[in-house]
Amino acid sequence: MERVYNFNAGPAALPLDVLTKAQAELVDLGGSGMSVMEMSHRSKEFQAVIDSAQAKVRALMGISEDYAVLFLQGGASLQFATIPMNLRGDGQTADFIDTGSWASKAIKEAKISGNVNVAWSGKEEGYVRVPKQDELKLTDGAAYVHICSNETIGGIRFPKFPNTDAPLVADMSSEIMSRVINVNDFGMIYAGAQKNIGPSGLALVIIRKDLIERTPDSVPIFLRYKTHADNGSLYNTPNTWGIYILKLVMEWMESLGGIAAVQKINEDKAAALYSTIDSSDFWRCPVNKADRSIMNVVWRLPSEELEEAFVAEAKKAGMIGLKGHRSVGGIRASIYNAVPKAAIDALIAFMKDFEKKNG
């Protein structure tokens, strides 16, 4: 069966080269006589896998030894609860910038265990932009400032990150390694792997080591970052398959020339798609142009009936995952690192043909 063009938001497209290599190594990894899914996570064979995965993440993102790199389970959603438990002391306030569905979920979770200040919210405007620096109402002495750097559902991102006195904590699930960033600007970065760097069931956490020491003794041992940092992400049985696939994705990114090269490809893909959307009143992107995501492109058609027809006909044409999130409707194309330019070209050609027939 011919492979489709996959625009799903997550789990999402993986590089074909990665899938092919994983297929070839599925029953025998490196002459071990076992699949990575069968071997002990305490074995020297798997230790080599996880060491390589961490080293490649560090090299690609320029991560210093001031930070721990952790491979955890529970996705970004577990981090919503774990972060305030670890980083916010008794009586302290955590600042949050509310830019959409995922930021608001992090806020809801953090409120359960302590004080939260929403420094800015785009809810009343319909989550169509990120704030300007002078719009932020930050707390003096805040434990940290939390952002979702790229909102998967709303299709907006921070083109520039806010300046904060408190450590900046970023959920980068839907844009991790899609553009060059300075890790040193952040106290912590976390991301569910299933959008850009691997399969579902794995979360990447990059946390400054001094922040790890903040955790109060009241936090359960398993939910402490120190527990996992001290044990090299092997305190419990990790997602061995997910870590292995992430390692292969890192190798694929290296082969492309690293994150700077990937960013250029991503920007070209997004520019072509946005140009098509902006070329006609038949399509409408609700997001402020300066804040548009290059990972999750959202747009509307003149009616919901046309949107339903668009999604159905696109699926017949071999393009899946284009239906907008159920909470907002419309159309969404998630064009992550592994989505090839050929997929964008095919989508644009389909859009032009659809407009001719229905415009």
The SS3 call for residue 119 is strand
The DSSP annotation for 248-300 comes to HHHHHHHHHTSHHHHHHHHHHHHHHHHHHHHT-TTSB--S-GGGB-SSEEEEB
* Separation of alpha carbons 329 and 297, rounded Å: 13
Residue tagged active-site, from 195, 247, 269, 323: 195
Half-sphere exposure of 348 (CA within 13 A, CB side): 17
| Catalytic residue check, 171 | yes
Residue tagged active-site, from 56, 95, 120, 171: 171
Instruction: Give the tokens for residue 226.
Output: 């120190």
- To 10 degrees, what angle do helices 341-358 and 259-278 make? 0
Instruction: Quickly tell me which residue has 């300007």 as its tokens.
Output: 132
Residue tagged active-site, from 95, 98, 102, 252: 102
| Catalytic residue check, 195 | yes
Long-range contacts of residues 205-210, Cβ cutoff 8 Å, at least 24 apart:
205/68, 205/69, 205/70, 205/71, 205/72, 205/79, 206/57, 206/61, 206/63, 206/67, 206/68, 206/69, 206/70, 207/67, 207/68, 207/70, 208/66, 208/67, 208/167, 209/66, 209/67, 209/68, 210/66
Would you tell me how many other CB atoms lie within 10 Å of the CB of residue 160? Answer: 9
For the annotated catalytic residues, the residue numbers are 102, 171, 195
